[in-house]
């Protein structure tokens, strides 16, 4: 049994997963309401709240799984990337739990967790596959040939797709988080009403011309100008059209890159993850895109798309564990670790 902890952003998460990938429990204590009034996550508030919640969330995960600490064979934890103060709560807690029992510990790259979330039961995806991860913090395409690692095919050069949804929603006066609000309102609007840019940068940061990168900051600026131009009353009247057109631009950009990845990589399996994977238009688009190419699509349940500890345990299954006491000096890392990510 693997007990995993994840505290990289504003969700306090613990999960118990069997070595075969069966999820025994997957507990998430969301801090969403705590940060809502600020219009985004406040790092210091997030770390303090993690500290208050982590023990209860861990006990809850064990209880729901029907296992005791005696049955836990390994502890896994998100090491980074994320908010450093938030990560430290999970890392310290995991180290303490593991050390108290003399258990081995596996540090996990948060993004690796997103990439392998679909390898969990009941319908695990088998490599080789390509995965699109789009959340509030990250947007990238990865190829998985072997689940212990992944190759980044392209990533956003500025804002994440979820961030584009959130910032767009803010400009339209729709509150936070903006993705679900834009998704709902778009159903009533005309997606062709406004022309927004679909930026598909050809070159990444030194990665060469064949990288499948994204950029969403120009889109957000374009909405800002459009909102100013229209004025308050027109924005009010055409809010659904603006939302639908804006969402269409994001989905077009994500799916265009996904399609290129499928074409180039020649795989027969595709998975999506991250909070934006909840978007109804994106899901629909990916469904038809994959169906047209004879590619099988994995759209894991939302609890496995958004931040959770089951995906961290999923990744840990394929990684070595540090024996006690080798992990006592282990540190959290706010930035992406180059050595845990194989470059494309």
Residues engaged in binding ligand KG4 (CB under 6 A):
9, 135-137, 162, 165-166, 177-180, 183, 274-276, 278-279, 306-307
Q: How far apart are CB 56 and ligand KG4 at their closest, in Å?
A: 21
Query: Between 204 and 273, whose beta carbon lies closer to Zn ion?
Result: 273
Show the DSSP H helices in the chain as ranges. Answer: 32-36, 43-65, 84-101, 110-116, 161-171, 178-186, 217-237, 239-265, 280-293, 302-305, 310-316
**Binder to Zn ion among 47, 135, 139, 299 (CB under 5 A)?**
135
Query: Between 162 and 168, whose beta carbon lies closer to Zn ion?
Result: 162
**Binder to Zn ion among 307, 316, 327, 332 (CB under 5 A)?**
307
Q: How far apart are CB 17 and ligand KG4 at their closest, in Å?
A: 19
Q: Rounded to whole angstroms, what are the CA distances from 320 to 119, 315, 316, 338?
A: 17, 10, 7, 17
Cα–Cα distance measured from residue 202 to residue 29, given in angstroms and rounded to the nearest whole number: 39
Query: Between 107 and 275, whose beta carbon lies closer to ligand KG4?
Result: 275
Which residues touch 231 (CB under 8 Å, ≥6 apart)?
none
Q: How far apart are CB 156 and Zn ion at their closest, in Å?
A: 13
Question: Which value, in Å, is the radius of gyration of the alpha carbons in the chain?
Answer: 20
Cα–Cα distance measured from residue 124 to residue 331, given in angstroms and rounded to the nearest whole number: 31
Residue 113 interacting entry, from Zn ion, ligand KG4, none, C-beta within 5 to 8 Å by type: none
Query: Between 7 and 306, whose beta carbon lies closer to ligand KG4?
Result: 306
Going by C-alpha positions, the residue among 162, 159, 130 that lies closest to residue 144 is 130
Q: How far apart are CB 137 and Zn ion at their closest, in Å?
A: 6
Q: How far apart are CB 47 and ligand KG4 at their closest, in Å?
A: 16
Query: Between 165 and 196, whose beta carbon lies closer to ligand KG4?
Result: 165
Is 10 within 8 Å of 44 (Cβ atoms)?
A: no
Q: How far apart are CB 307 and Zn ion at their closest, in Å?
A: 4
Cα–Cα distance measured from residue 21 to residue 43, given in angstroms and rounded to the nearest whole number: 32
Going by C-alpha positions, the residue among 54, 60, 115, 64 that lies closest to residue 87 is 54
Residue 241 interacting entry, from ligand KG4, Zn ion, none, C-beta within 5 to 8 Å by type: none
Going by C-alpha positions, the residue among 151, 279, 155 that lies closest to residue 215 is 155
Residue 276 interacting entry, from ligand KG4, Zn ion, none, C-beta within 5 to 8 Å by type: ligand KG4
Is 242 within 8 Å of 170 (Cβ atoms)?
A: no
Residue 43 interacting entry, from ligand KG4, Zn ion, none, C-beta within 5 to 8 Å by type: none
Query: Between 134 and 290, whose beta carbon lies closer to ligand KG4?
Result: 134
Q: How far apart are CB 219 and ligand KG4 at their closest, in Å?
A: 14
**Distance separating the N- and C-terminal Cα atoms of the chain:** 32
Query: Between 137 and 204, whose beta carbon lies closer to ligand KG4?
Result: 137
Tokens for 93, please give them. Answer: 């807690």
Query: Between 135 and 156, whose beta carbon lies closer to Zn ion?
Result: 135
For strands 11-17 and 23-30, give the pairing.
antiparallel
Q: How far apart are CB 299 and ligand KG4 at their closest, in Å?
A: 12
Residue 279 interacting entry, from Zn ion, ligand KG4, none, C-beta within 5 to 8 Å by type: ligand KG4
Interaction site with Zn ion (CB under 5 A) = 135, 307
């Amino acid at each position: 049994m693997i007990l995993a902890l994840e505290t990289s952003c504003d969700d306090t998460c613990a999960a118990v997963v069997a070595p075969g990938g069966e999820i025994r429990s997957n507990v998430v204590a969301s801090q969403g309401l705590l940060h809502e009034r600020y219009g985004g996550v406040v790092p210091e508030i997030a770390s303090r709240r993690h500290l208050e919640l982590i023990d209860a969330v861990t006990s809850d995960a064990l209880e729901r799984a029907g296992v005791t600490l005696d049955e836990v064979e390994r502890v896994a934890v998100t090491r980074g990337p994320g908010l450093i103060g938030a990560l430290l709560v999970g890392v310290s807690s995991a180290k303490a739990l593991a050390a108290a029992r003399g258990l081995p510990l596996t540090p996990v790259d948060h993004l690796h967790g997103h990439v392998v979330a679909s390898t969990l039961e009941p319908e695990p995806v088998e490599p080789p596959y390509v995965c699109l991860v789009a959340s509030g913090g990250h947007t990238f395409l990865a190829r998985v040939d072997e689940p212990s690692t992944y190759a980044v095919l392209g990533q956003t050069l500025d804002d994440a797709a979820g961030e584009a949804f959130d910032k767009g929603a803010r400009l339209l006066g729709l509150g936070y988080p903006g993705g679900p609000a834009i998704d709902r309102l778009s159903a009533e609007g005309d997606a062709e009403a406004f022309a927004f840019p679909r930026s598909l940068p050809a070159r990444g940061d030194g990665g060469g011309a064949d990288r499948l990168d994204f950029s969403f900051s120009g889109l957000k600026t374009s909405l800002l100008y459009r909102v100013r131009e229209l004025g308050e009353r027109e924005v009010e009247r055409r809010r659904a059209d603006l939302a639908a057109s804006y969402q269409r631009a994001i989905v077009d950009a994500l799916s265009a890159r996904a399609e290129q990845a499928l074409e180039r990589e020649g795989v027969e399996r595709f998975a999506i993850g991250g909070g934006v994977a909840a978007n109804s238009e994106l899901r629909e688009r990916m469904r038809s895109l994959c169906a047209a190419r004879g590619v099988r699509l994995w759209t894991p349940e939302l609890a496995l798309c958004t931040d959770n500890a089951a995906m961290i345990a999923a990744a840990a299954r394929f990684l070595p564990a540090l024996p006690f006491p080798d992990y006592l000096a282990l540190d959290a890392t706010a930035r992406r670790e180059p050595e845990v990510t194989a470059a494309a």
